[in-house]
């Protein structure tokens, strides 16, 4: 998480974040969402939560901590995690993964289209990742009339899930998608400001189910997945939480299934024997 200039500027005003409150907040973020927040990020935490204190009319972080730990703090616990997570994403982020998807993964799955195929964008943020997946599936000609393919798109943050489900992007958030693809899969909708606004077409929406899901919780999904994109999510987790996830992914992936991670994320050594490395941050679960 980078402390932006705006955050540094804002951090000059409002209540200060004492050590004790920082520890209570970071412990809560770790226990609730797996977020591992170093003490060097205290200024960022203070800036991001100052708005919440103002909104609640609280004048100290100690009072805020008491509130999130109270019986009435349920909604604020969600707001706190939402404020501390980083939701940056864009269409076709780390495009080499989408190239690998169309050059290797989809050809490999082509003769399995007689069974349900399941993809998962785990930590999908505002939806650019699952919509990029859906566009790639159409563009590669993979989907025929009988293909039963669904993309689960999940995130811990209910705000981004609501946004993604709505599927409407201002022009600055749709960068990364070529004009040609934007015209083919999105429709321009009225905007209430000077920025143009684009809405995902039904062909994309019908492939994707958006769900709020904390990766730390028990996963309710029944079947196995063929492809999982979990990119730029585990970077905020410590090794112990990452290892728990590698174990869970190896169980929920179909043998031979693919796992894509973000550019600075790697499967830890203890799980290397279960996964074959396919390319930069792309893995395949071994069949036996």
Ligand X SMILES: C[S@@+](CC[C@H](N)C(=O)[O-])C[C@H]1O[C@@H](n2cnc3c(N)ncnc32)[C@H](O)[C@@H]1O
> Please, what is the minimum distance in Å from the beta carbon of residue 80 to ligand X?
12
Q: Is 127 in the site for ligand X (CB under 6 A)?
A: no
Q: Among residues 24, 48, 118, 182, which one is catalytic?
A: 48
CB contact set of 204 (below 8 Å; sequence gap of 6+): 131, 134, 135, 138, 167, 185
* Identity of the residue, 66 or 219, whose beta carbon is nearer to ligand X in the bound complex: 219
Q: Is 214 in the site for ligand X (CB under 6 A)?
A: yes
> Please, what is the minimum distance in Å from the beta carbon of residue 88 to ligand X?
5
Instruction: Give the footprint of ligand X on residues 216-255 (CB under 6 A).
Output: 216, 231-233, 236
The phi and psi torsions of 278 (rounded to 5 degrees) equal -100, -25
Residue span 85-124 as binding mask against ligand X, x where in contact by CB under 6 A, dash where not: xxxxx---x-----------------------------xx
* Identity of the residue, 34 or 167, whose beta carbon is nearer to ligand X in the bound complex: 34
Using CB under 6 A, pick the residue from 33, 151, 177, 181 that binds ligand X. Answer: 33
Q: Are 227 and 101 in contact (CB under 8 A)?
A: yes
* Identity of the residue, 78 or 278, whose beta carbon is nearer to ligand X in the bound complex: 78
CB contact set of 59 (below 8 Å; sequence gap of 6+): 15, 53
Q: Is 156 in the site for ligand X (CB under 6 A)?
A: yes
155 belongs to the catalytic site: yes
- Looking at the DSSP assignment, which residues form a beta bridge with residue 208? 151
Count CA within 13 A, CB hemisphere, residue 9. 3
Using CB under 6 A, pick the residue from 21, 22, 29, 34 that binds ligand X. Answer: 34
48 belongs to the catalytic site: yes
3-state secondary structure of 256: strand
CA distance 255 to 172: 39
* Identity of the residue, 76 or 129, whose beta carbon is nearer to ligand X in the bound complex: 129
Nearest to 34 by CA among 241, 212, 219: 241
CA distances from 204 to 46, 116, 137, 153, 154 (A): 39, 17, 10, 12, 16
Q: Is 79 in the site for ligand X (CB under 6 A)?
A: no
Q: Are 110 and 141 in contact (CB under 8 A)?
A: no
Residue span 258-287 as binding mask against ligand X, x where in contact by CB under 6 A, dash where not: ----x-------------------------
Binding footprint of ligand X on the chain (CB under 6 A): 33-34, 85-89, 93, 123-125, 129, 155-157, 160, 214-216, 231-233, 236, 262
């Amino acid at each position: 998480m980078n402390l932006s200039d705006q955050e540094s500027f804002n951090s000059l005003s409002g209540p200060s974040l004492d050590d004790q409150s920082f520890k209570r907040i970071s412990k809560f973020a770790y226990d609730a969402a797996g977020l591992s927040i170093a003490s060097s990020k205290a200024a960022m935490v203070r800036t991001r939560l100052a708005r919440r204190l103002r909104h609640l009319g609280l004048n100290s972080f100690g009072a805020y901590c008491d509130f999130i730990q109270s019986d009435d703090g349920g909604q604020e616990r969600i707001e706190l995690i939402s404020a501390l997570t980083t939701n940056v994403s864009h269409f076709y982020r780390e495009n080499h993964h989408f190239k690998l998807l169309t050059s290797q993964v989809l050809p490999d799955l082509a003769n399995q289209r007689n069974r349900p195929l399941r993809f998962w964008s785990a930590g999908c943020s505002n939806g650019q990742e699952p919509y990029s997946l859906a566009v790639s599936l159409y563009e590669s000609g993979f989907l025929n009339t009988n293909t039963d393919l669904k993309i689960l798109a999940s995130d811990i943050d209910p705000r981004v899930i609501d946004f993604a489900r709505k599927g409407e992007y201002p022009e600055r958030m749709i960068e990364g998608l070529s004009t040609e693809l934007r015209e083919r899969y999105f429709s321009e909708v009225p905007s209430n400001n000077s920025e143009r606004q684009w809405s995902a077409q039904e062909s994309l929406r019908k492939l994707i189910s958006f769900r709020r899901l904390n990766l730390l919780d028990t996963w309710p999904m029944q079947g196995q997945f063929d492809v999982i994109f979990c990119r730029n999510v585990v970077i905020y987790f410590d090794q112990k939480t990452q290892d728990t996830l590698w174990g869970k992914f190896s169980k929920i992936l179909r043998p031979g299934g693919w796992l894509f991670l973000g550019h600075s994320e790697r499967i830890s050594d203890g799980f290397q024997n279960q996964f074959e490395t396919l390319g930069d941050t792309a893995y395949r679960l071994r069949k036996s």
